[in-house]
Copies of this chain bind each other. A is one copy, B any other.
Amino acid sequence: MTIQEVWDKAREVMAPKCRACPECNGKACRGEIPGVGGIGSGSSFTVCREYLDSVKVLMDLVYEPSEIDTSIELFGRIFEVPFFMAPLGGMNGNYNGYLTDEGFANMSIRGMVESGSLAFTPDGPKDSLFDLQLPIIKDVGGLAVPTVKPWDLPKLTDKIRRAEEAGAVAVSCDIDSCGNLLLKKAGKPVYPQSQETMAEIVKSTSLPYIPKGIMTATAALRCADAGCYGIVVSSHGGRVLADSPAPCSMLPEIREAVGDRLKIFVDGGIRSGLDVFKCLALGADAVLIGRPYAIAAHGGGQEGVVLYSQKILGELRDVMVMTGCRSLADIDRSKLVL
């Protein structure tokens, strides 16, 4: 199976919800919610590609060659790559139901572990989505980050407890799903999360806690003060607030504010190893990739997921060679022209 075959197959089976475009940039699917598009004019999605394309990378071959190391330590574990799968739910809503949630969970969780990485896994209006993933996570030794919706505190901590029981290495909460229409329609109230609430959550669990949907230095500092392990700088794929800036464009400011107090993940429009490199150079520790992994799973199942990971890794290694970066620590702002 080749990546091209995976994409060709995906294009066939994902219609009409996703077109598996050669360039996944949010243009063809503008405004398609449910579906895979950005909200309104879709600019919160398209701006991600525009920003990343505008960032230029500086070649540097004047260095002593050595092995390339793309590994990263997180949650006390070593991962082979600094890119992870973003939580992707709604196989029968945003996507067309070709895959079941359980089918996708198997492909994605196992595929990412096989990739030397892991998946952030989704939650949704129905509890069954969250629950069906727990046995799979347990089966892979906990190598996943369950992402719960920002429910009220009792419901939230209950779900975290079940993640603990499955042995998950960390837990995330996409607080930006406050703007999610599906949850509104389903009568499932979700809430913003104050620093105080976050502190309670952190205290309630042994797992590293990673709020997702942080876009400002101020909010990031509140997460740090609450004792969070990390954050995901994210605009929820451009699906909850129109005219958001590109999450990656906020990285320098956020990193400067929090220093090393938080691990910083970022998502939004990341499509290549070159993009991963740019995000790390802008200030992220690691990135999440969403839609392309959905395409890879639709077109190639677990194997498609692994193939896509290998493609990204190969590109990242190539860029590291061409820029004189031997490990992720070498990837910094001096490698970019903004």
Contacts and interface: CB of A to CB of B under 8 A. Distances in A.
Contacts of A43: 53
Contacts of A243: 53, 55-57, 274, 278
A178 interface: yes
A3 to B, nearest CB: 14
Given A178-B321, A322-B178, A322-B240, A245 B58 contact: yes
A120 B9 CA distance: 47
Contacts of A241: 57, 59, 319, 322-323
A194 interface: yes
A76 interface: no
Contact of A59 (B63, B197, B235, B324): B235
A191 interface: yes
Nearest to A235: B59
Q: Count the copies.
A: 4
A219 interface: yes
Given A240-B322, A243-B274, A61 B196 contact: no
Interface residues of A, number: 58
Given A43-B53, A63-B192, A64-B194, A58 B215 contact: yes
Contacts of A47: 56
B64 A245 contact: no
A244 interface: yes
A59 B192 contact: no
Interface in A97-135: none
A195 interface: yes
Nearest to A214: B62
8 contacts: A60-B218, A62-B219, A64-B192, A64-B197, A65-B194, A176-B322, A179-B321, A218-B334
A-B pairs with lowest CB-CB distance, top 4: A64-B194, A56-B245, A61-B175, A62-B219
Given A59-B244, A61-B219, 6 more contacts: A53-B243, A56-B245, A58-B250, A178-B322, A192-B321, A241-B323
